[in-house]
Amino acid sequence: MAIGNGGTGSGLVVSFGEMLIDFVPSEAGVSLAEASAFLKAPGGAPANVAIAVARLGGRAGFVSKLGDDEFGHMLAAILREKGVSDAGVVFDAGARTALAFVTLRADGEREFMFYRNPSADMLLTAAELNVDLIRNGAIFHYGSISLIAEPCRSAHLKAMELAKEAGALLSYDPNLRLPLWPSPEEARKQILSIWDKADIVKVSGAELEFLTGHDSVEDEVALRLWRPNLKLLLVTLGDKGCKYFTEDFRGIVGSFTVKQVDTTGAGDAFVGALLQGIIEDRSALLDEKKLRQVLRFANACGAITATKKGAIPSLPSASEVMEFLGKA
């Protein structure tokens, strides 16, 4: 798979949503209260996806609002430094950049405590959207956190509409963060409210169970989330790999056994690699053999990311992935 080799890979991935600072305890396996010190780590799933694409040699842009504060300007600088266009980023003088305190449990899984009341990303308006950037995207990617509150919700819906009108593929990773929603019922309702607009949807096993109300990741449960508009539905199952469903075929691609240090960003690395693979060869959505190659590469990206601390510093380059696959 010619990730990062240009050619047909010149298409732009535009990612929309939150970018924030994660504060992570300097030692693993402690609660927030027990932590003696915290390291600051840039994060936010849609931003991670954009950077993952750029790390693989693709073209990426990001659309969001940050606080007009030191953290906001630091995050915009990180986007630029990582090769992501920040032409869609605006600043709010009256609101802070979002923060999240994240505990890494002993098993590498995460727990979150958020500071957003409201944070700048929640205040992005439709009038502040960089319309040209959105219209230039071959793929428009987003999550569901930007659906929680106005005015950002309206900006999100408008951006989807602009991207769709311009012929972009719409990619949706709900990235469920229940503590941010007023209730689980509202989360389920709003996350599913835009389901029939997407071309590509990726959910985790836990998100599948939450959205369907079934304690199972079997195919018949996953297919409850299938809609006629979809070209690809993916269910990621961590170290068990990833299930894929299209109109014509379905299957599972196994993952790679690695020593997990921190799963932060692993799903975003997977999505970034998937989207860049589709940019490289859109026929992968119709050709099962090609799709399986793309998903194997994406699984490798996720696995590599989980072996290191922090999301953005862990996102691999194409050469790192090829080296990893060569040894797998």
Instruction: Say what the pLDDT of residue 24 is.
Output: 85
* Residue 266 annotated to the active site: yes
What is d(CA 84, CA 45) in angstroms, rounded to the nearest whole number?
A: 14
Report how far apart the first and last C-alpha atoms of the chain are (Å, whole number): 16
CB atoms within 10 A of CB 303: 23
pLDDT by residue for the chain (328 residues), tens digit each? Answer: 433 333 333 699 999 999 999 998 888 788 888 899 999 999 999 999 999 999 999 999 999 999 999 999 999 999 999 999 999 999 999 999 999 998 877 776 778 899 999 999 999 999 999 999 999 999 999 999 999 999 999 999 999 999 999 999 999 999 999 999 999 999 999 999 999 999 999 999 999 999 999 999 999 999 999 999 999 999 999 889 999 999 999 999 999 999 998 888 999 999 999 999 999 999 999 999 999 999 999 999 999 999 998 889 999 999 999 999 999 8
Phi-psi region of 17 (alpha: psi -120 to 50; beta: other; left: phi over 0): left
Residues 157 and 293: their CA atoms lie apart, in Å, by 32
Positive or negative: CA dihedral 207, 174, 20, 237:
positive
Does 268 participate in catalysis according to the annotation?
Answer: yes
Catalytic residue among 67, 267, 277, 302: 267
Query: Residue 265 catalytic?
Result: yes
**Lookup result for tokens 């849609």:** 46
Q: Which of 143, 241, 265, 302 is catalytic?
A: 265
pTM above 0.85, yes or no: yes
d(CA 49, CA 142): 9
- Return the DSSP state at 11: P
* Annotation says 267 is catalytic: yes
Q: Which of 45, 138, 222, 266 is catalytic?
A: 266
Distance, CA of 161 to CA of 136 (rounded, Å): 13
* Closest to 89 (Cα-Cα) out of 160, 170, 18, 8: 18
Point out which residues pair with 66 in neighbouring strands: 91
Q: Indicate which residue of 121, 173, 268, 281 is catalytic.
A: 268
With vertex at residue 117, the alpha carbon angle to CA 114 and CA 119, rounded to the nearest 5 degrees, is: 85
Work out the number of other CB atoms within 10 angstroms of the CB of residue 122: 23
Read off φ and ψ for residue 263, nearest 5 degrees: -80, -5
Helix (H, G, I), strand (E, B) or coil at 328: coil
